[in-house]
Amino acid sequence: MVGLGLALGLMPAQAAQAAPATDRISLSPATGLAGSAVTVSGTGFKASTTGTVIAGATTFPVKTAASGAFSTSITIPSTATGSVTITAKSSSIQASSVFTVTAPAPTLPPVSTAALRFGVATAGGPLDEVAQLAGESPSSILFYKDFLQSPPIAEMNSVRARGAVPLITWEPWAWGGGTEQPAYSLDRIAAGDFDAHITQWGQALTAWGYPVQLRFAHEMNGNWYPWAEGVNGNQTGDYVNAWRHVHDVVAATGAGNVSWVWSPNVPYYGSTDLAGLLYNWGTSASWSGWISPQDLFAPGIAQLRALAPGVPILISETASSEAGGDKAAWNTALVSYLAAQRCGGLRMVPSPEGNRLAHQQQRHLSLRIQVRTGSASDSLT
């Protein structure tokens, strides 16, 4: 029993002598690409002596100070993957730490310079994956803001960093409040009740200074938003007055980098009016059927050209259901149809620099199409 007691008493000391020191070195950074430069710092080593730092199969010399500390720069092997153990040795002391090799970001295709380009409407979506699948990066990225939000400078910077132009859908209401929101009636907007907020946006966009497309109060010819005439107390002519007022207030801030997008809905099934829903619902609804891009777009494009000959047409949202037909083939047919319209003045996501009109602030006409399949919404600008 006494012998057993002695053996138990000696085991911790023996283990302490055998255990390597694992907390004596640190890496900065501790993660990064293969080939990264890393600073290795150590403490608790033998004073004023030489040693080595080992990274994979590469050895780097090191010398400790009188305090037993050292700091040296090493390079992670260019072929390294996963976890790389970095080991420092000096005399009888050894310590290790792990560097995690991260995968390099994919090389994205460039933004097209062709007359017909594409953009995306996605909130935090997989933009890199979309660009890889499309074979080109989007030239325009669409997102939404209501009248309670500040100018989205951070989001605009993120869009610009990708080489794209921000397309902001600016909605004069409070999200989630429904169509009856008297506080946001068109006559109040035209009367100047929101001029301070509108001016703040104009000044922020002017200060930002880069091209931005502003899609104010879209789908005004429907009945599902509080800025439509016939709802929310709005009368005939109120929309034009409100739109012009907002435009003029922003323009007064000197926002020459802003391109204005006027974005109505266009003819829908059985309609000849510039109004209604224009979705390729396919057979996803009892009242709908599969429709080709030409049959879907042609009536609205013709009306827009008649309204404003020569003004570029921007299709600000579109997609197709998967029910009732071949969605991939529909997308291919859509691009072919739009490409064939170039001689008639149609552009898909035009660049503000490439399609600058005579006046300082460019206006685009816009078609809006969006198709929801199940609970998800696919949108292609």
Residue 16 lies in a domain: no
Average pLDDT over residues 158-169: 92
Both 138 and 77 in one domain: the answer is no
Both 190 and 299 in one domain: the answer is yes
Both 37 and 156 in one domain: the answer is no
Residue 188 is part of which domain span? 119-378
For 68-110, write each residue's pLDDT tens digit. 999 999 999 999 999 999 999 988 889 999 999 998 877 889 9
Least confident of 254-268, 318-332, 357-371: 357-371
Whether the per-residue pLDDT at 192 is higher than 50: the answer is yes
Query: 217-255 burial string, b = 16+ CB within 10 Å, else e?
Result: bbbbbbeebbbbbebbebeeebbeebbebbbebbbebeb
Both 162 and 257 in one domain: the answer is yes
Prior bond of 29 cis (ω within 30°): yes
Residue 114 lies in a domain: no
Least confident of 187-191, 230-234, 266-270, 296-300: 266-270
Apex 243 CA angle, 206 and 257, nearest 5: 20
Whether the per-residue pLDDT at 350 is higher than 50: the answer is no
The reported pTM is: 0.67
Both 213 and 315 in one domain: the answer is yes
Residue 322 lies in a domain: yes
Both 265 and 339 in one domain: the answer is yes
Find, among 296, 289, 318, 334, the residue nearest to 378 by Cα: 318
| pLDDT, position 267 | 53
Cα four-point dihedral sign 266, 268, 272, 275: negative
Q: Which helix (H) or strand (E) holds 34?
A: none
Average pLDDT score over the chain: 81
Both 53 and 173 in one domain: the answer is no
Q: What is the CATH number of the domain that holds 142?
A: 3.20.20.80
Among all chains, which residue has been given the structure tokens 């008639």?
A: 344
Q: How confident is the model at residue 284 (pLDDT cuts 50, 70, 90)?
A: confident
Residue 336 lies in a domain: yes
CA distance 14 to 260: 77
Both 123 and 86 in one domain: the answer is no
Both 45 and 162 in one domain: the answer is no
Whether the per-residue pLDDT at 342 is higher than 90: the answer is no
Find, among 255, 288, 259, the residue nearest to 347 by Cα: 259
CB within 8 Å of 4: residues ≥ 6 apart: none
Residue 136 lies in a domain: yes
Tell me 23's DSSP state.
S
Q: Is the CB of residue 215 less than 8 Å from the CB of residue 198?
A: no
Among all chains, which residue has been given the structure tokens 């600058």?
A: 356
Residue 279 lies in a domain: yes
Q: What is the CATH number of the domain that holds 64?
A: 2.60.40.230
Among all chains, which residue has been given the structure tokens 């009856």?
A: 180
For 289-328, write each residue's pLDDT tens digit. 898 988 888 888 888 888 888 888 888 878 888 999 999 9
Point out the domain boundary residue: 72, 101, 130: 101
* Comparison of pLDDT for 317 and 283, the residue scoring more: 283
| pLDDT, position 381 | 39
Residue 199 lies in a domain: yes
State how many domains the chain has: 2
